[in-house]
Amino acid sequence: MLKLAKTAVASFAGDVVSFGVESDKGSITAVSENPGIAYLKRLGEGKYLLVLKSVGSTRITVTAGGETAAAEVSVREAKRSDPDGKWRIFVGDTHAHTSYSDGLATPYEVFPKVKDEEFFDFFTVTDHTELLDDGEFYNTFVAADAYTDEGFTSFAGSESQVDLYHKNSIGRDENGGGEIVVINKEGYSYSDSLDTFFSDIGESPMGLAIVAHPHIIGFTDTPVLWKGFDPVHQTDERMKALIRGVEIFNEKNDSNMINEHAFFTFLDCGYKVSPYGASDHHGPRWGKVAMPVRTFIYSEGRSKELMLDAMQNARTYACENGNVKLFYTCNGKNPATTLPLTDTYEFLVHQEPFYVVNEADETVYAEVVSDYGEVVAAREVGKHMYDFDFTVHSATARYFYLRLYSRIGEKTVSAPIYTGREYDPCPRPRFEKTAINDADFKVKAFSGGTNGFAAIHTNTADYCQLRDANGEILIDMGRVRRLSAVGYFTNEPIRNDLESYAAFISRLEYYVSTDAIRFERVARDRIGLYGCEHITEFAPVEARYVKLRSLATVGSEMRKERFHKVGAAIGALRFYE
């Protein structure tokens, strides 16, 4: 007997739903009469995902052993929130695992567990693709369909992996890829090329991706710090269309200290992305108690289509303690809006606790962040000060976002707002020059600390650590040389050692001299992506001495005092003619 799990499907353009068929009569074939309206992705015998591509009607005809059955498909426009409307705030998780990869329980158990708590509005299962098979991926969609209603949305997705390795100037592998959460796409990928990745995940028009823990230490035989899909060098229109978020908080991962750098780098490259806070939980405590970090969505409702619309349009914010209700307008417009061109920006901010507040969760400080992660306005926030404002003047800013700090230094990071100005041209060509470092290079002086000589070697595990976050080091190149760029490598971070991340330089200056007496500043720079050599280029100069001055470290820019005294670290410096 031929049996269809659904004989009629009516939903919005962009939806992806399970479509199951049972038969004891032999091989099953299912065909859409109009694939331009809806098409099928086969994931096994009788296991299909139905992708509703565009508005209209079509029929799915199924045959098996001489029997035929049909399902009618009706596709309407997806509902969208009004960009200028009155939005509500919904809470949930976009990254969690089950026994289909390296977690516990199945999606059939996890979705109802979280739904029955009546705390989250949405929840996503995203199992690792190197451990996932087609049948399990299909079952994730079946379970998500079963536990989605007007009060709760279950999303099916994957944590796909794309490894994009290349050698850097000291002969080490750099991974320009990493793991990426893919939601509402009919496919998943474990690959070593972007072309394969995009072919694997499919074409669902309301699918999206979130860069997972962009600067985590990769789990490979030679662990390296991933550089989160490197938008500076790897951007293309497919990536800009797909990537809509960056995890700045991922459980209690060490890389939370630096993931925001990847977020603002994506913004600098013209991506419409917003921040996410994900539990990355593997069980058994999914949902409310898994992790305090949260993702919040701005939407007019909690339906699947409105949630997807919000995520596709970068209307999310991330909260480290999960207890900040945040909304703001800029020049009267909601977050994630592109403003009319102006030089004056008026921010009205409302923030308050969701729940009974404890002293640690209270917001005490707020900043406006703009291009390259620079803070352009800041203020103290008094006790019970739930409403405050900022005025920012800028003729160059391309975007802004808010960063709030709790009393113990935990962050809340808002959705961005865009000014309508041009972004950095990306992708940029890779820097291909050969370093001129040789045996004549010596460390002439450094401002206290340890291992000064290590700054000109290539073993980044044996690094120079200056005494202070604002320390400096002076390199003697042995003779006058022509110089146009310097490359900075961080120390190699150590798992579960937060101070090893706090030591990363985040802002620096370079000075040059021919006599070690009179110095000229040739560059000031801000580091965006980590996990790679950071190249600072400048107009060619003649110099024998080069001074690096650290202006700030990751630790000194945090509002957690324990990291303020961690000295700046230099894994290696490379010099280019």
- Span 231-274, pLDDT tens digits: 999 999 999 999 999 999 999 888 999 999 999 999 999 999 99
- Extract the tokens encoding 8: 């009629």
Residue 37 near residue 57, CB atoms below 8 Å: yes
- Rg of the Cα trace of the chain? 26
175-204 pLDDT, tens digit each: 999 999 999 999 999 999 999 999 999 999
Q: Are residues 288 and 147 in the same domain?
A: yes
**Identity at 478, one-letter amino acid code:** G
Residue 552 near residue 471, CB atoms below 8 Å: no
> Nearest Cα to 175, choosing from 223, 213, 130, 128?
223
423 falls within a domain? no
| Torsion over CA: 104, 108, 109, 110 (sign) | positive
| C-alpha to C-alpha distance for 508 and 490, rounded to whole angstroms | 13
Query: Phi and psi (nearest 5°) for 271?
Result: -80, 145
564 falls within a domain? yes
Q: Are residues 218 and 331 in the same domain?
A: yes
| C-alpha to C-alpha distance for 372 and 382, rounded to whole angstroms | 28
397 falls within a domain? yes
Q: Which helix (H) or strand (E) holds 526?
A: strand 520-526
What pLDDT score does 469 carry? 97
> Nearest Cα to 130, choosing from 92, 84, 163?
163
**Residue 449: CATH number of its domain:** 2.60.120.260
Q: Are residues 130 and 202 in the same domain?
A: yes
Q: Are residues 32 and 58 in the same domain?
A: yes
Q: Are residues 282 and 147 in the same domain?
A: yes
Q: Look at the pTM and tell me if it is higher than 0.85.
A: yes
What pLDDT score does 1 carry? 86
What pLDDT score does 174 carry? 87
**Residue 51: CATH number of its domain:** 2.60.40.1080
- Helix axes 134-146 and 107-117, enclosed angle (nearest 10): 30
236 falls within a domain? yes
What pLDDT score does 436 carry? 97
**Residue 387: CATH number of its domain:** 3.20.20.140
| C-alpha to C-alpha distance for 82 and 313, rounded to whole angstroms | 11
Q: Are residues 339 and 468 in the same domain?
A: no
Domain that holds residue 277: 88-418
Q: Are residues 297 and 346 in the same domain?
A: yes
403 falls within a domain? yes
Query: Phi and psi (nearest 5°) for 45?
Result: -60, 115
What pLDDT score does 220 carry? 63
> Nearest Cα to 225, choosing from 432, 486, 491, 464?
491
Q: How many domains does the chain have?
A: 3
Q: Are residues 158 and 31 in the same domain?
A: no
426 falls within a domain? no
435 falls within a domain? no
DSSP codes, 169-224 = TTS-EEES-EEEEEES-S---EESSHHHHHHHH---TT-EEEE-STTPBP-SSS--
Find where tokens 């008026």 sit.
346
436 falls within a domain? no
Residue 263 near residue 529, CB atoms below 8 Å: no
> Mean pLDDT, 10 residues at a time, over the chain (577 residues)?
95 98 93 98 98 98 95 98 96 98 97 97 98 98 97 97 90 90 98 97 98 88 80 94 98 93 97 98 94 97 97 98 97 98 98 87 97 98 96 98 97 98 93 94 94 92 95 97 97 91 97 97 96 96 98 96 95 97
| C-alpha to C-alpha distance for 327 and 415, rounded to whole angstroms | 9
| C-alpha to C-alpha distance for 6 and 21, rounded to whole angstroms | 8
Q: Are residues 452 and 306 in the same domain?
A: no
CA atoms within 13 A on the CB side of 201: 32
What DSSP designation does 98 have? -
Q: Which helix (H) or strand (E) holds 557?
A: none
Q: Are residues 49 and 95 in the same domain?
A: no
Residue 144 near residue 153, CB atoms below 8 Å: no
Q: Are residues 392 and 308 in the same domain?
A: yes
Q: Are residues 110 and 70 in the same domain?
A: no
Q: Compute the residue count for the chain.
A: 577
Residue 477 near residue 435, CB atoms below 8 Å: no
